[in-house]
Amino acid sequence: MGAITDEELIVLFWSRDGNAIDETSRAYGAYCYAIANGILQNPEDAEECVNDTWLRAWNTIPPKRPQRLRIFLAKITRNLAFDRFKRRYAQKRGGGEIGLALEELEECVDAGTDPESEVMTKELEQGVNSFLGGLPGRERDIFLRRYFFVESTETIAARYGMTRSAVLMALSRTRQKLKLYLKKEGLIG
């Protein structure tokens, strides 16, 4: 039997077929694990996070019917990993790549923004997505690898054949562009 398609996976979830989780794990287990471990830097926590991803997908599909299952699962995994990170390392300031990545992004978002506001958060997310859609491919990839997948600047540099300082400069320029874009769109002060 060949690889199962995303649509077939979604049908399994919708029909509440127990094979949905096994097949999803086969198709996306390594991908989701890489996301979780990139954030958590702990194999056991990453594995638990991936298992939680399958449960969250099971409880979410239906009623949701994701258009791109890979992205849907990545978002779930990423959010669960961030939540786990916050719980585990709440007392430790600046621990690991996640702390550095979040500090770097702080310069793009106005401190006066109410992060609890669901409407503002949604508008900000749409603004960032729109901004990213307008970036050249490599610039967008470097930004996403750092701030979505929380890869280290060293890993990004090795992937693209760049120096670490070139990656840092590229990220700094992209953050500046993002900040100007969000200001222009009225999403930050």
- What Rg, from alpha-carbon coordinates, does the chain have? 18
pLDDT tens over the chain, length 189 residues: 568 999 999 999 999 998 999 999 999 999 999 999 988 889 999 999 999 999 999 999 999 999 899 989 999 999 899 888 877 765 454 456 666 666 666 656 544 444 444 566 667 778 888 888 899 999 999 998 888 888 889 999 999 999 999 999 999 999 999 989 988 888 777
Q: How far apart are CA 25 and CA 113, in angstroms?
A: 38
* Residue 116: predicted pLDDT: 46
Residue ranges, CATH 1.10.1740.10, the chain: 6-88
Q: Dihedral of the CA atoms 115, 123, 31, 8 (nearest 10)?
A: 130
Q: What 8-state DSSP symbol labels residue 4?
A: P
Q: How far apart are CA 120 and CA 98, in angstroms?
A: 23
Residue whose structure tokens are 């996306």: 28
Q: How far apart are CA 4 and CA 86, in angstroms?
A: 35
* Residue 111: predicted pLDDT: 41
**Alpha carbon 156 to its chain's center:** 16
One of 1.10.10.10, 1.10.490.10, 3.40.50.300, 1.10.3110.10 is the CATH number of 96-184, namely 1.10.10.10
Asked whether the beta carbons of 182 and 124 are under 8 A apart, the reply is yes
CATH class of 6-88: mainly alpha
Q: How far apart are CA 86 and CA 98, in angstroms?
A: 10
pTM of the predicted model as reported, rounded to 2 decimal places: 0.66
